[in-house]
Amino acid sequence: MLDIKVIRNDPEAVKKAIESRGSNMDRVIDEVLKCDEIRRKMLAEVESMKSTQNAVSKKIPVMKKNGEDTTVIMSEMKELSDKICEKNKELSELEKKQRDLILTIPNIPNKDVPIGKDDSENVEIRRWGEPRKFEFEAKAHWDIGKSLDILDPERAAKVTGARFHFYKGLGAKLERSVINFFLNTHTENGYKEMLPPYIANSDSLYGTGQFPKFKEDEFKLENTDYYLIPTAEVPVTNYHRDEILEGDKLPIKYCAYSACFRSEAGSAGRDTRGLVRQHQFNKVELVKFVKPENSYEELEKLTNDAEKLLQILNIPYRVVCLSTGDLGFCSAKTYDIEVWMPSYGRYVEISSCSNFEDYQARRASIRYKNSTKEKAQLVHTLNGSGLAVGRTVAAILENYQNEDGTVTVPEALRAFMGVDVIK
């Protein structure tokens, strides 16, 4: 959530920044400023009335002591108290309206983010590894999964619906092995492992910015305030909601495995086959709570931590910096890691690593103090996939496939798998 002071101090700059994201929020920002002006005047009125109330309240005991009649002044105070109560009610409603409006405004892009209308104007930062040149006709991972009898979307569609999968045999073991490899690598790199709830309440989803904009995209449990999580980012970030952290403990680094649930799994006709766009998928998430002055250095480190996994697996990838038009709602800056997928003939996103600055922290009231004497200030939050598990499995099947239909297991996973080849 944006700071009202930022909007108030330079509304035109905020409008321009939001416009660079491809959104026009001028009307909303104007409404926020209107609410803010009325709210501040109302606050001044209430404070003036409270001052009068306090001054008169001090006189009443003296008047009673002197035997003076307090009937009239007590009646006036009752009337004033009722007015204060009514004004506070109006003020509360106005503050809620203002907050609800601000919650609909996306984050302001960092000045280093390239200006662009959409993903076509993302900027490539670096590449790692060379795509494999096959001496045979390479297959798509869904065909490999079917021929090896390790993936079964057809029966999953029978049991649930489209965009779900059964993993079978060594396919299930490969998914589990990838999860273990990711978690082990991250914990060795200083992240504390978390196993979060797969269900979160609406306060949590407001805290990380999925609500209100994406409320209709979430899986809601009927007749409850519970939702299936779209990512472990939601419960893990909200782990410290309404808390003041110790400054000398920052940065705090968590890694968390969870299943993820997305009703908006992609447009019809796009990535409809395979593991790339699913309503349910597994992911290992990285979450950081950091001091503002270090947050962009920490973003680089987090991105590198996610990249390291693909380097160990020896799968080619590239890193792109998202343009303003492709940024997520809450992000100030995002790097996407895109893995090479032979069947697509292109790089496919496998991780988004983002710095939200204080946008989520303001929503979720996550602050820190360097000492007990200091005023608490907002942390910066970061998160990134480390990595999407299903897409990693898809990338392994395609990049490590053999002419005879088997798939070589990457060396880093063989201890988990117990086999060198899936056949």
Residues contacting residue 388 through CB under 8 Å, at least 6 positions apart: 281, 282, 283, 350, 351
Strands, sheet with 366-369, edge to edge from the N-terminal-most edge strand: 243-246, 366-369, 377-378
20: phi then psi, degrees, rounded to nearest 5: -65, -20
Catalytic pick among 277, 362, 363, 367: 277
45, 90, 121, 349: the catalytic one is 349
Rounded CA separation 341/399 (Å): 7
Name the catalytic one among 352, 363, 385, 398. Answer: 352
Q: State both tokens at 65.
A: 């002591």
Catalytic residue among 262, 362, 363, 367: 262
Of 259, 296, 300, 264, residue with least CA distance to 280: 259
Q: Which of 285, 343, 391, 398 is catalytic?
A: 391
**Annotation marks residue 262 as catalytic:** yes
Nearest residue to 151 via CA among 184, 175, 128: 175
391 noted as active-site residue: yes
Burial code (b: 16+ CB inside 10 Å, e: under 16) for 121-133 equals ebeeeeeebeebe
List, in sequence order, every beta strand (DSSP E) within 33-101.
none
Contacts with 263 (C-beta within 8 Å, 6 or more apart), sequence order? 217, 218, 219, 279
CA atoms of 418 and 409, how far apart (whole Å): 10
Residues 354, 328: contact at Cβ < 8 Å?
Answer: yes
Q: Helix, strand or coil for residue 416?
A: helix
Active site residues: 262, 277, 349, 352, 391
